[in-house]
Amino acid sequence: MAATTPAPSILLRLDLSDAVLKKYREESETYGVELEELLANRLSECVDYNATKPLYFTDVQRRNLETMLGRNVNGPGEVLEIIRRFLTVKVNGISMTIRPEVLERLRTRHFDHSRDFGTYLTDCVNEWAEAAAGLR
């Protein structure tokens, strides 16, 4: 955690439970910063995180996510873009996003392992397009 204490403009008094205070104290010791500095930094860093259903990852969870994605990530926007790319396929130069549950079900129906999944998916999309166009 970077020690970038903002210039103080107001002094606040907070009532924190012993359990919460203990965790923050441990973290401040781990990073070698004063407790007040750690709290000021955390509040400043998270000021824009005001979602009604926030997604916060611990370092362990983030490392697991990075392992699954096969790369390091630096923020929510980057994670969303990577997932979007994973869910987007290109068939005959046309990009389309397929929901994860559809891709998973298609993988379970890919029985001909002499063709890779990409070829199988391309064939499926072509068959569906031909059926929609009245050619099948």
pLDDT band at 63 (very low <50, low <70, confident <90, very high): very high
Model confidence, pTM: 0.58
Tokens of 5: 């204490």
pLDDT tens profile 74-84: 888 999 998 88
pLDDT tens profile 10-61: 888 889 999 999 999 999 999 999 999 999 999 998 898 888 998 888 889 9
Domain positions in the chain? 18-51, 55-87, 98-136
Find, among 64, 104, 101, 97, the residue nearest to 83 by Cα. Answer: 97
Q: What are phi and psi of 9, to 5 degrees?
A: -125, -15
C-alpha 93/C-alpha 81 separation (Å) is: 20
Which own/partner pairs from 69-72 qualify as long-range (CB within 8 Å, at least 24 positions apart)? none
